């Protein structure tokens, strides 16, 4: 089949979603893919807000950190308006604040800092030794071998076409109620070409950084985000961009959850290239609450 008959790929749709429409100075409009979701995926809002901030930065300055709060669920049926405030333009650093608005109310806020690249000290932690992605089951094999008897929520998750392929090192968590150590390793990669453009590369990396992360906080409790008795939602999200990466190959997303308490769970993540280069670090706290009995 040709692309004309099959339509755009999932990655092409993601890139179009990140390509915001400028509607005024420092104001942009973003749209959501109509994928049947009840709320906008958090990674999409992070990626779009980062893209809005990036488009107000001049010169060779690139994002090195972002910090964000989710305040209300996003409505995928209407556009999201992104308002950018230019907090500071310095000799080396630029700071931007972005507020995402729907139905006249803020749903999300992000602060991001950008830096003119310069040399300096350089070190990193080592990538954990795990099986390479080629040694693991692919998504099609997972569908064929496991999904026939899996709960409906898990089947829908794995059967949906996504711009990012996920290949967990272990699948035990998805099909067992065993209490496990609160850590996981997941290989991720783009399912289509990402432009050789650092603005898009950073936005796609921010998008995928929200995938699988909060679920790690549930490992110790023998459940998952697919549990219909749980209310699970991201509360905040922080990310540090250490080194540029073209997203042409698999990335290892290694995650751990140091704490869960007060109906909240904290998860940390590190993103490595296949060769062990640490390209980004992530931290997220999320709501993890048992629903009241009806």
Which residues, 6+ apart, have CB-to-CB distance to 161 below 8 Å? 10
- Dihedral sign of CA atoms 130, 135, 139, 145 in order: negative
Report how far residue 13's alpha carbon sits from residue 292's, in angstroms, rounded to the nearest whole number. 37
Is 145 considered catalytic here? no
Catalytic residue (choose from 44, 102, 111, 234):
234
Distance in angstroms (rounded) separating the CA atoms of residues 219 and 101:
34
215 is catalytic: no
Catalytic hit among 54, 209, 210, 215 = 210
Residue identified by tokens 């390479």 is 132
CA angle 164, 74, 37 (to 5 degrees): 55
Whether the Cβ atoms of residue 181 and residue 227 lie closer than 8 Å to each other: no
Catalytic residue among 44, 113, 184, 284: 284
Concerning whether 210 is annotated as a catalytic residue, the answer is yes
| b/e 201-235 (16+ beta carbons within 10 angstroms → b) | bbbbbbbbbbbbbbbbbbbebebbbbbeebebebb
Q: Which residue has the tokens 């699988």?
A: 212
Residues assigned a catalytic role = 210, 234, 284
């Amino acid at each position: 089949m040709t692309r004309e008959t099959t339509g755009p790929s999932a990655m092409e749709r993601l890139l179009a979603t990140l390509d915001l429409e400028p509607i005024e100075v420092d104001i942009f409009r973003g749209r959501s893919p109509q994928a049947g979701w009840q709320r906008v995926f958090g990674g999409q809002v992070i990626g779009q807000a980062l893209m809005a901030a990036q488009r107000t930065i001049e010169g060779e300055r690139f994002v090195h950190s972002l910090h964000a709060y989710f305040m209300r669920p996003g409505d995928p049926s209407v556009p999201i308006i992104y308002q950018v405030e230019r907090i500071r333009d310095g000799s080396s650093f630029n700071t931007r604040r972005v507020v995402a608005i729907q139905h006249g109310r803020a749903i999300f806020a992000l602060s991001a800092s950008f830096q003119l690249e310069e040399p300096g000290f350089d070190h990193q932690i080592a990538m954990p030794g795990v099986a390479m992605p080629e040694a693991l089951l692919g998504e099609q094999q997972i569908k064929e071998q496991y999904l026939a008897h899996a709960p409906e929520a898990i089947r829908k998750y794995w059967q949906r076409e996504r711009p990012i392929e996920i290949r967990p090192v272990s699948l035990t968590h998805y099909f067992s109620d065993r209490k496990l150590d609160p850590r996981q390793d997941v290989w991720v990669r783009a399912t289509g070409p990402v432009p050789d453009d650092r603005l898009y590369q950073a936005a796609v990396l921010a998008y995928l950084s929200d995938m699988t992360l909060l679920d790690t906080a549930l490992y110790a409790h023998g459940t998952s985000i697919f549990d219909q008795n749980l209310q699970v939602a991201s509360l905040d999200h922080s990310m540090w961009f250490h080194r540029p990466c073209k997203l042409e190959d698999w990335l290892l997303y290694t995650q751990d959850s140091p704490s869960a308490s007060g109906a909240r769970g904290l998860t940390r993540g590190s993103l490595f290239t296949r060769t062990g280069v640490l390209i980004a670090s992530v931290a997220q706290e999320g709501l993890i609450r048992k629903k009241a009995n009806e």
